[in-house]
Structure formats: structure tokens, C-alpha cells
Amino acid sequence: MMILQSLDLCRSFGFHYLISSNVCRRHMMMSFTMRLVRTVSFISSLLVLGCEGRIRENLFAGTNETNLFVKGNNADAVGDVVTSSTLTNKILVGYQGWFTYPGDGAPINKWKHWFGTEGVPAVNNLTVDMYPSMDEYDPADLTDASPLTMKDGTKAKFYSSAKPGVVLRHFEWMRDYGISGAFHMRFLTNLDLPANKMWKTMVLRNVRDAAESTGRVFAVSYNLAGCDNQALDLIKSDWMDLVDNERIVSSGRYLKHNGLPVLRIYGIGFKEVNIDDTKKMLDLIDWFQNKADAKYRVFLIGGVPARWRDSIMDARPGKDWQKIYKALNGIHPWHVGRWTTTKLGQIYYKNVIKKDASTCAKNGQLYMPTMWPGLSWHNLKSNTIPQPPINQIPRNGGDFMWNMAYQYAADPNIKTIWTANFDEVDEGTAIFKVATNKNEVPAQGDWLTLDADGKTFPNDWYLQLCREAQKMLNGEIKLTSSIPIKP
């Protein structure tokens, strides 16, 4: 009876998605309890404080929420809760969460990111190079409504990030493999369209709930790609909405640093991003750091070009951009695609990344380099001439990424690492569970599998490597330039 009454209570507050998934039902004791606590807390706050009262959002709300749970600075064993009060000694992943299919409950109600033009599900319209391992998802969260089939003739399955159970499964993998948590990408393109904003906020809620259920951390990462200068105003209004109405930063799982919520804005200073108003950019940074009401202020990380410090290559020239970089609390250069072999990566680290990290240390800024496994965007770039090949930048069985993990962990000025990207099958940088060989991908189309470089690896190989990299960053295993585990 109590459970039925509680479910009715959840429905009355619009938490239908909590009880709609079989996966969520399997995790009822943890996931539901946290929802119920938030709901009761919400009601109690209204009764005691009135509408002007500040509401305690959830079970982990507050600044000392992890003191009773965490074994170390960044606990990584299954069941541990990662501290949310610091970026230090954390490997964090970028999390897209942008995959949908018609009928998945998302208000946009169409294929998104699995297929390209107009979302038409066709082999020649594929925009992903890697195929996720589908066997651990709840069948209710998958669709087979595409013309693609597997080698045995069964219909190929695809998941939707709008499904709470899918996002929960991803965060369970983060927990199981010792990954601290995720920056969830919030693209500003078309965010002013109601259906689009509802969809993106739906996924963000899924991310928050999954982080709370698994003891991971999460943070918002705005993306300026495809935007112009007007997007800088949209960031303010959207952030205030997330703070006031979604109460995102009230979650005890929201990542903080130096006592402030962490926020990343990607696209600052890129030549390819159509934002050139340096005064407006400086004003935005000042607003987040000083002028906004205290509840909106953040520890601001800039997603910047790889050559930000020199203002060359992918970076816009000019002293004004250097002022912008120095005004940020943290610097995160985008390194994906900037080198193609392990040897070139070593040279790039010595000539660029090491100097970047040293500069940030002198400026009192956090420096977060990008670790990535390889690159393949053959299907995404199908209209490019010449079309990039499958496996454009090979993973070499993990050696390519491990070299980065080793160099970063050995650098005294690097304490935080961004791994690109957890679920990025579009550009072939995904580190979650994916197909290992050609028998595990659809029979139609071109696909990258983990055996592409001539060796066999399990579908969780890159999750395993992230786990070992986290241990190395923490000092739990010795620094080593060779992968310390076997497939």
C-alpha cells in the first residue's frame, strides 16, 4: 500500500518517467527513495518556509553530503560515492545523451543522431561509426523500427537517451568502472524552441537522477557550436531556469569546486564558432563570477581551442581573447584530432600541453586536458569529399589513449582529465560498451569495431582503461607508459 501511495504521489508531481521503465523499477529502492525524499522535502519546505523559502532538493543536498560515504578523495570501488566538492583527481567524461527515436517519449518525436538528413532511418543516412552493445539495456527502452538487420537476420536495435533506464545504465557503468562522473552537453542551437528545450531538459533530468542513484557527479556543459553572439544571452536565461526551476545545482551530486557549482562553456575562442564579440564574452564571464546573484555564480571552465595559448591554428587571434582565457577559472582545450599517432601525441604533449598546464598553474587556473581513444567519423562525413575513412585515427588497442593517460597523470600541473566522449559513436570516440567484431554490428553499412587494429578486445575495454587511468591519477598504481592490464 505504501508503495502504491508513493507512486501516486510521484504521478501527482509529474514523475511519470520514474515509473515507466522496467530498469527504473529494478532500481526502485535507490532511485525511487531519492525522488520521494525530494518530493517530501519540497512539500515540507513550502509548508514551513512559504513560497520564498529555499528548498532542499534531495537526499545528498548540502556541502558535506559525502563525508560519511567516501573512502578516499575520489572513491572508485563499486558502491562508493564520489565526492562532489572538488574537480581534483577526477577523470570525467563528456556525455552527449542526444540519441532518440520516434515514440520514445521525447517531444521532438523523431530519429536523432543515429541517422542524418530529416532523421530518415536508412543505411545511406547513418551518422554513427560504432554500434553500442545492446544486450544490457531494457528491451522496453529499445526500438527495432529501422531497416537495418543483424547478421542473423534479426532487427537491429537502437536506444534513446530520453529513456531514464538508458541513462541509468550508462551511469551504472561509470560507477562499475570507477569513472567519477560526466559533463552533460547542453547545445544552445534551437534551445529557444519549446520542444527542443523540453527534450534536452528531459535528458538532463535523467542524468541528474542517474548520478544520484549511482553516486556519480554531473555538471552542465553548454556548447556554442552553430551559434552566434546572441547565444551568450541565452546562456544566462537558461542557467537561471536550470537553477531556479530545475534546481539542478541543489542536487548533492552536482559537481562543485572551490565551493561553487562547476559550469563549462565550450566554443570560446574557436575560429570555426561564429562568436566574435569579446566584450560580450568578458561580460558573460564577469556575470557568472561576480555580478550574478550568488545562487547563479559558478566555477567557470572554458572549452577552448587546442592552441588557445598561442592564438594560432584553431584559435582566434588577438589580445582580447587572451584576456578572456585569463578570466576563466579553468581551461579545457579540445584535443580530439590534433594528432594521429602515439609518437605525435608525445611531441604534442611536450610542445603544447605541458606548457599549457604550466601556464595555467602560474595563473592559478585549473587545467583539464582531453583524453580520447581515436577518431572515426566516416558516416557522419558522408558528404565530405574526400570522405574520411573508417578508423581514421586508429585506437591501436588502447595504446593511443593510454599514452595520454600516462603523460597527464605524470604531469604535476594536471589533476583533472576530460575523456571524450562516453557515448560519442558519431565520431568514433565512444568509450562505453560497443561491438567488438563484425558479427555484432548490423549487416548493412560501414562500421568500426574494437578488433579493427587486428587484436580482439572485450566490449568494455575502454571502460577498463579509464578505471586504470583513474587509479594512476590517484596514485593507487604506479605511473606506467604501458597498459597495466590484459584484455
pLDDT of 58 > 60? The answer is no
Confidence class for position 80, pLDDT limits 50, 70, 90:
confident
Range of lowest pLDDT (34-43, 123-132, 328-337) = 34-43
Q: Is the peptide bond before 421 cis (omega within 30 degrees of 0)?
A: yes
Long-range contacts of 41-44 (CB under 8 A, 24+ apart): 42/13
Confidence class for position 163, pLDDT limits 50, 70, 90:
very high
Q: What is the mean pLDDT of the chain?
A: 88
Q: Which grid coordinates belong to 52?
A: 520564498
Range of lowest pLDDT (53-62, 243-252, 415-424) = 53-62
| Average pLDDT score over residue span 177-206 | 97
Cα of first residue to Cα of last residue in the chain, in angstroms, is 48
Range of lowest pLDDT (3-7, 33-37, 238-242, 367-371) = 3-7
Confidence class for position 65, pLDDT limits 50, 70, 90:
very low
Q: Enter the pTM of the model.
A: 0.85
- Grouping H, G, I as helix, E, B as strand and the rest as coil, residue 159 is strand
The pLDDT score that the predictor gives to residue 236 is: 98
The pLDDT score that the predictor gives to residue 427 is: 98
Q: What percent of the chain has pLDDT over 90?
A: 83
pLDDT of 1 > 50? The answer is no
The pLDDT score that the predictor gives to residue 56 is: 24
- Per the CB < 8 A criterion, the answer to whether 395 and 426 are in contact is no
DSSP letter (8 states) at residue 388: P
CA 386 – CA 379 distance, rounded (Å):
12
Range of lowest pLDDT (76-85, 205-214, 225-234) = 76-85
- How many helical (H) and strand (E) elements, i.e. helices and strands, does the chain have? 13, 12
Nearest alpha carbon to residue 403 among 470, 359, 346, 318? 346
**Phi–psi pair at 362, nearest 5 degrees:** -65, -30
User: Who contacts 208 (Cβ-Cβ below 8 Å, separation ≥6)?
Assistant: 218, 248, 251, 253, 254
pLDDT of 360 > 90? The answer is yes
| Average pLDDT score over residue span 373-394 | 98
Gyration radius of the chain over CA positions: 22
Q: Alpha-carbon dihedral of residues 217, 429, 168, 418, nearest 10 degrees?
A: 0
CA 253 – CA 103 distance, rounded (Å):
30
Domains assigned to the chain: 2-49 (no CATH), 90-474 (3.20.20.80)
The pLDDT score that the predictor gives to residue 377 is: 98
Residue ranges in 180-308 assigned as alpha helix (H):
194-214, 231-244, 278-286
CA 480 – CA 259 distance, rounded (Å):
33
The pLDDT score that the predictor gives to residue 35 is: 45
| Average pLDDT score over residue span 237-245 | 98
Q: Which grid coordinates belong to 400?
A: 593511443
Confidence class for position 41, pLDDT limits 50, 70, 90:
very low
pLDDT of 451 > 60? The answer is yes
Nearest alpha carbon to residue 453 among 377, 399, 396? 396
The pLDDT score that the predictor gives to residue 117 is: 83
- Burial class of 411 by CB neighbour count within 10 A (0 to 12, 13 to 18, 19+): middle
Q: Which grid coordinates belong to 131?
A: 554500434
Residue ranges in 64-218 assigned as alpha helix (H):
164-176, 194-214
pLDDT in tens, 321-340: 999 999 999 999 999 999 99
